[in-house]
Every structure is written in structure tokens, then in C-alpha cells.
Amino acid sequence: MGQNQAAHASTDDVSGDEEFDPIGTLTLIGIYFVILLLAWVYVYYIEFLGRDLVVVG
């Protein structure tokens, strides 16, 4: 039985979820995560805190 392809791990394999290896999904979510981090840093630290007249009271 194949070790590295999800397509092969179909029928009688009940315990081996480590063979389920959605590397594409992981990569995609990783990219989304990085975009989210960069967007947050930009919006809060650069755009918001970088503007004039920060309200302090």
C-alpha cells in the first residue's frame, strides 16, 4: 500500500490519519495567515498609529 498518497489510503486504514497529508491546504492557510498578519500590522501600526493627532484622552 502506498505510504504517501491519500488516494491509496482509502479502504481498510482506520487508525492511520497521519497518512492524510493535505499539504496544499496547509500551504494555502499559511499564505492566508501571513496576509492576515501583514494586513493587521499595516492597518494598526502604520496606518492607525502613524497618523497625526492620536487621541490620548
Does the protein bind other proteins through residue 31 (CB under 8 A)? no
Q: Which is nearer to other proteins, 7 or 53 (CB)?
A: 53
Q: What sign does the CA torsion over 25, 31, 32, 33 have?
A: positive
Spatial distance between the Cα atoms of 12 and 36, rounded to a whole number of angstroms = 40
Among 22, 35, 39, 42, contact with other proteins (rule: CB under 8 A): 22
Long-range contacts of 6-15 (CB under 8 A, 24+ apart): none
Among 5, 38, 44, 46, binds other proteins (CB under 8 A): 44
Does 14 interact with other proteins (rule: CB under 8 A)? no
